[in-house]
Amino acid sequence: MGISTEIISEGLGHQSIRTTEVYLKSFENIVLDEANDFIVG
């Protein structure tokens, strides 16, 4: 959806972008897309 990892990291309150990257890698794209739709839509 074009949301940068930095924005997601800040929104989740992570101190390190690496933490966010670890979380994002564990999800399939469909899960992330559905979460984004819920948050944005």
pTM of the predicted protein model: 0.57
**CB-CB contact of 18 with 5 (8 Å):** no
> From CA 15, how far away is CA 19, in angstroms rounded?
8
Q: Would you give per-residue pLDDT tens digits along the chain (41 residues)?
A: 688 999 989 999 999 999 999 888 877 777 777 887 888 76
Q: How far is CA 20 from CA 7, 41, in A?
A: 10, 22
